[in-house]
Structure 1
Amino acid sequence: MTTFEGSFSAPELGRARIALVVARFNDLITTRLLSGCLDCLTRHGIDTSRSSAQVDTVWVPGSLEISVVAQRLARSGRYQVIIALGAVIRGDTPHFDVVIAEVSRGVASVARDSGIPVIFGVLTTDTLQQALERAGIKSNLGWTYGLEALEMASLMATLPPSP
């Protein structure tokens, strides 16, 4: 029996290219998620400087636009993993349900169709307070999304090629 697992310090991570797609809507939250994510990547040896050839960040208007940009980035063949960061906070209308259903379906579709892991880092909360807690007041899930991306990039590099 063969067991495949990702790592957070594998040699192939030093060459990994990572794309971050970040929603500008609710940027009070998404900039904190981005900061936590970049901190994680940096602490694990990924060059996140502005002149980096390893990490590209793409800003989109809102979470609904994440999927189409992630799809384009995945099709480019440049990236080993994509991280989608957004925040959808429930309001008084059913808009929340529509947006989150579409963005989650879209992100999953991009990953499935391209074979490139797309980390789903879109917060779905009932209140702004809950979003703030998940983006840094209590802990920063951006760090977790960065860690997931590293593990998936490493794991995908160890799996046998698809037919």
Structure 2
Amino acid sequence: MSGEGAPVLTVQDVRGLRVAVIASQWHEKVMDGLIDGAQRALKEYGVEESVLLRVPGSFELPVVARGLAARGYDAVVALGVVIRGGTPHFDYVCEAATLGLTQVSTDTGVPIGFGLLTCDNDQQALDRAGLPGSKEDKGFEATTAALATAALLREIARNH
């Protein structure tokens, strides 16, 4: 299982953070699980100001993340799923989305929760979607990571 060895993150003081969740429209069942996980994390950690926006596919995640970062969001959670097919399309979309989200985060200083599943088959995606019977909850994990990073950046700005 890919989640073995994952850290238990501590998220403190997210009061006042503005968080955007952006989610692909492909693979509806998997995306429903990822979105639910993200929304549960936002609620559990007490985020009061959040928005959910849908994008056509995973390829569009970086440009929308950049737009939201430029509009003052403290964290963006990017959710999507790409499942390997019989063409190199999988490789191009996965690489473009991953590099694009990384660039947005480093260029803007806004943490991006990386909830992009890159799977060989449907079962792998379902196992990571946070659905009943899933082994992992990547929507919750990506949101938690974004919140923890945003809180840390806010602490650095205040105290260092």
Q: Same fold (TM over 0.5)?
A: yes
| Number of the residue aligned with 1:68 | 63
**In structure 1, what is the Cα distance between the partners aligned to 2:117 and 2:44?**
23
Alignment correspondent of 1:50: none
Does structure 2 conserve the Cα–Cα contact (< 8 Å) formed by 1:7 and 1:154?
no
Partner AA of 1:39 in structure 2: R
Q: Which of 148, 152, 162 is equivalent to 2:149?
A: 152
User: How many residues are treated as equivalent by the alignment?
Assistant: 147
Per-residue deviation, residues 133-158 of structure 1 (Å, max 9, x unmatched): 00022221111112112201110101
SS in 2 for 1:149: helix
Maintained 8 Å contact 1:16/1:80: yes
Larger relative contact order, structure 1 or 2 (CA cutoff 8 Å, min sep 6): 1
For 1:25 and 1:80, the matched residues in 2 are separated by 26
Q: Distance in 1 between matches of 2:115 and 2:140?
A: 10
1:81 aligns with 2:75: yes
After TM superposition, the score normalised by the length of structure 2 is: 0.87
- C-alpha contact (below 8 Å) 2:21/2:38 kept by paired residues: no
Between 94-103 and 134-143, the greater mean CA deviation after superposition: 134-143
Q: Deviations over 1:82-139 (max 9, x none)?
A: 0000000001111000000100011011111111111111000000000000002222
| Deviating 4+ runs (over 6 angstroms) | none
Gaps of 5+ in 1: 1-5, 48-53
**1:143 to 2:144 alignment:** no
Identity over the aligned pairs, expressed in percent? 37
Corresponding residue number in structure 2 for 1:59: 54
Q: Does 1:8 align with 2:3?
A: no
Map residues 13-24 of structure 1 onto 2, 5 A cutoff: 13-24=14-25
- What is the match of residue 96 of structure 1? 90
Displacement after TM superposition at 1:39 (Å): 0.7
In the TM superposition, residue 33 of structure 1 has moved relative to its aligned partner by 0.4
1:106 aligns to 2:100 (yes or no)? yes
Asked if 2 retains the 8 angstrom alpha-carbon contact of 1:7 and 1:155, the reply is no
Give the superposition deviation at 1:7.
4.7
CA apart distance, 1:35: 0.2
For structure 2, the residue ranges without an aligned partner over 5 or more in a row are: 1-8
Matched residue of 1:160: which SS? Answer: helix
Instruction: Report the TM-score when normalising by structure 1.
Output: 0.86
Aligned partner of residue 157 in structure 2, secondary structure:
coil
